[in-house]
Structure 1
Amino acid sequence: MSPFSPDQQDLLSSLAADGVFLGTSSWKYPGWLGQLYEEQRYLTRSKFSNARFERECLAEYAEVFSSVCVDASFYRFPDPKFLAGIHDQVPDGFRFSHKVTDTVTTRHFPNLPRHGSHAGKTNPVFLDAGVFLQSFLKPLAPYRKKTGLLIFEFTRFRKGDFERGRDFLDALDRFLAALPTDEWDFGVELRNPSLLRPEYFDLLDRRSVGHVYNHWERMPPSGEQLDLRSPSTLSAACGMRLLLKPGRRYKEAVESFQPYDRTQEVRPEAREAAERFVLESEKKPKKRKGYVYVNNRLEGNSLQTIAALLDSLKGLAGK
């Protein structure tokens, strides 16, 4: 089952063949039944099985999309059994992008139960390249050909985390210098607008790492980030994540938009930014890829947001 018309599906596949991947943030949404997923595939004893759905729906997702962003990897280091299970469900050419585990990217651990004894404390392995290479990248090594963008999402730094923005950039520079950027696609996603300065983009260029343009509650809209530096001028693969309307809290979006079965609010500025990102990414050399991921919390249903984007791109191609 595809939520897209044949023309839309052809464009989605054509973009992926050109190295520009469109997909969603995660994939296990029962609200997509009847749109992307066929309920009959997940029946057990003639009843819908949510456990079976969560276990098997990725294969049906991959019949339509060529990429997805794995949000779960942000919360724990990759588990070999989990990686084998998801990679076995998708064809060659599919790309999993991953949010890198926050153990590497969090300066201070929040007071959350999942952080155990580290909760509320300074992270001793913040931007520790050895930890990242051993605990995150090594488990992914058998799946390099099916790996897309590895996203270093930095939670919003608090006052006192760094005396100056320059101190963060120095730490980031040392970390990125240790990465195998000739073999993998890496991207940096920031949550502090003040860090979006020329020296930040110059650092990424020097280290062959991309920027992730994020549409998020406390960041400038992704279109404004595009104004700062186009993906066509950056030296590495870039990403865009359409997450939330700027100014809207995550919890509010969840409560408003669940079960994510339809568009409830159109965000034209986000759609226009994604269109622009795709067009500008196509100007990059073929070996440098572009990744766009849409979250249900942006408009209510990421499938319909992507369909609208494909229609807009088709219209531009026809001019």
Structure 2
Amino acid sequence: MTPTAFEAQRARIDAFELRHVHPNLRLGTASDRYAGWIGQIYPAHYQRAIKTRPRRLEGRTFEERMLPVSSVRDYFAHFDVLELDFTFYRPLREADGRPTASLFTLQQYALHAPPDARFLLKAPQQFFAATLRRSRSGTVTYEPNPHYLDAEACRQQFLEPAREVLGARLLGVIFEQEYRRVDDSPDPAANVAALDAFFDRLDSDVQAHLELRSPHLLTPVYFDWLARRGLGFVFSHWTWLPSLRRQWRLCGERFTAADRNAVVRLLTPLEMTYAEAYARAYPFDRPVPELAETRQAREMVLDVTALVFRAAMEGVIVNVIANNRAWGNAPDLARTIARRVLEEVRRRNMPLH
């Protein structure tokens, strides 16, 4: 890579132009529309379009400041991929076929996103969580989910309408399963058998990527099963999971998705809860030193970079999804990774494309 080409690419990255950083890397974020990203991703005129809503979290109230869905066209001027999380909380259709508010929101994203946009959707927890969190009179409980692994409902209420709305822009679906204590979990082989039956019945051609948040279920039996079925393993930097480097070793140092895409989600610092990370990152308009300037944060960036170059050796594309909670500001985290990848390209004296 020539010095001139390096400086030109570095200038683009500095300006948050994070598309096409490397042929084996797509950069994106978990959700979008944050008013704190005005001046980085979104033009100043969006200041006039901000809507606010209160959010209660662990006894504190935060004011969330959000932009309209139409801002997604500006988002995709900077990023290659977008993970939409609202589908996790409610399916796109009710059991009787009626559209939900989530379907209307997804249709708005489809309307305003460019033709080359790529979306990752989270499957509804209603179909993939063994237990569901309930809050009554301030008391939180976890109740068994009667629709756990209901493949028919998942297909009819989520996958089919998602495919109808997004078409080829639907890159894949993330199936996230909550943390489960050992005493509350099936043994790893029984867990794999249950998941295998679910994906047999699901019978979908949309690429699935699985994120199990229980380390004791991340066994060779599980990873061998993912590889046989062509299901993706989500490398997740999350509270109670091991480091990305450790996850790479656990999975047998392989990428398992049939479509040769991998998903990396950078969600929270390790051993830090959602609520604590959210409170530290808020209002998401800049990197926060106690999140972004730690040894763990540096290792996270280096581990992602290593995955990108390993993927390049195997013809895999790594889709890196940055979250505000992991860094304070997701665009700055994505930019930091882009800079590190570019530095490694120069160090190895590689052509960029």
**TM-score band w.r.t. shorter chain:** 0.7 to 0.9
Does residue 272 of structure 2 align to residue 243 of structure 1?
Answer: no
CA RMSD of aligned residues (A): 2.4
Residue 31 of structure 1: which of 16, 29, 36 is its match? 36
> Closer, same or farther in 2 for the Cα pair 1:294/1:230, shift >3 Å?
farther
Structure 2 residues not aligned, in runs of 5+: 1-9, 53-65, 93-101, 348-353
> Closer, same or farther in 2 for the Cα pair 1:188/1:199, shift >3 Å?
same
> Closer, same or farther in 2 for the Cα pair 1:231/1:87, shift >3 Å?
farther
Does residue 79 of structure 2 align to residue 65 of structure 1?
Answer: yes
Residue by residue, what CA displacement relative to the aligned partner does 1:125-165 show, whole Å, maximum 9, x if unpaired?
Answer: 21121111111101112223111220110001235543422
Does residue 315 of structure 2 align to residue 293 of structure 1?
Answer: no
Measured in 1, the distance between the counterparts of 2:169 and 2:203 equals 16
Task: Tell me the residue number matched to 2:25.
Answer: 20
> Closer, same or farther in 2 for the Cα pair 1:100/1:146, shift >3 Å?
same
Structure 1 residues not aligned, in runs of 5+: 114-118
Task: Tell me the residue number matched to 2:189.
Answer: 166
Residue 343 of structure 2: which of 312, 315, 318 is its match? 315
Measured in 1, the distance between the counterparts of 2:160 and 2:250 equals 34
Does residue 330 of structure 2 align to residue 302 of structure 1?
Answer: yes
Q: How far off its partner does 1:40 sit?
A: 1.4
Measured in 1, the distance between the counterparts of 2:197 and 2:135 equals 29
Does residue 239 of structure 2 align to residue 217 of structure 1?
Answer: yes
Does residue 312 of structure 2 align to residue 269 of structure 1?
Answer: no
> Closer, same or farther in 2 for the Cα pair 1:96/1:231, shift >3 Å?
farther
Does residue 153 of structure 2 align to residue 131 of structure 1?
Answer: yes
Residue 185 of structure 1: which of 180, 183, 207 is its match? 207
Task: Tell me the residue number matched to 1:116.
Answer: none
- Identity within the alignment, %: 26
Measured in 1, the distance between the counterparts of 2:281 and 2:210 equals 28
> Closer, same or farther in 2 for the Cα pair 1:212/1:108, shift >3 Å?
same
Task: Tell me the residue number matched to 1:154.
Answer: 177
| TM-score (ref. length: structure 2) | 0.79
> Closer, same or farther in 2 for the Cα pair 1:60/1:295, shift >3 Å?
same
Does residue 38 of structure 2 align to residue 6 of structure 1?
Answer: no
Task: Tell me the residue number matched to 1:198.
Answer: 220
Residue identity opposite 2:248 in structure 1: L
> Closer, same or farther in 2 for the Cα pair 1:240/1:230, shift >3 Å?
farther
Secondary structure of 1:227's match?
helix
Q: How many residues align?
A: 303
Measured in 2, the distance between the counterparts of 1:110 and 1:304 equals 32
Task: Tell me the residue number matched to 1:40.
Answer: 45
Measured in 2, the distance between the counterparts of 1:112 and 1:103 equals 16
Residue by residue, what CA displacement relative to the aligned partner does 1:189-219 show, whole Å, maximum 9, x if unpaired?
Answer: 0111111111111000111100001111111
Measured in 2, the distance between the counterparts of 1:295 and 1:32 equals 12
Residue by residue, what CA displacement relative to the aligned partner does 1:164-184 show, whole Å, maximum 9, x if unpaired?
Answer: 222111101111223445x32
Asked if 2 retains the 8 angstrom alpha-carbon contact of 1:9 and 1:64, the reply is no
> Closer, same or farther in 2 for the Cα pair 1:49/1:283, shift >3 Å?
same
Secondary structure of 2:86's match?
helix
Structure 1 range deviating more: 92-101 or 211-220: 92-101
Q: What does residue range 90-105 of structure 1 map to in structure 2 within 5 Å?
A: 90-105=113-128
> Closer, same or farther in 2 for the Cα pair 1:269/1:217, shift >3 Å?
same
Q: How far off its partner does 1:238 sit?
A: 2.1
Measured in 1, the distance between the counterparts of 2:17 and 2:280 equals 31
Residue by residue, what CA displacement relative to the aligned partner does 1:34-69 show, whole Å, maximum 9, x if unpaired?
Answer: 1111121453xxxx5437823322121111112111
Measured in 2, the distance between the counterparts of 1:61 and 1:231 equals 33
| TM-score (ref. length: structure 1) | 0.87
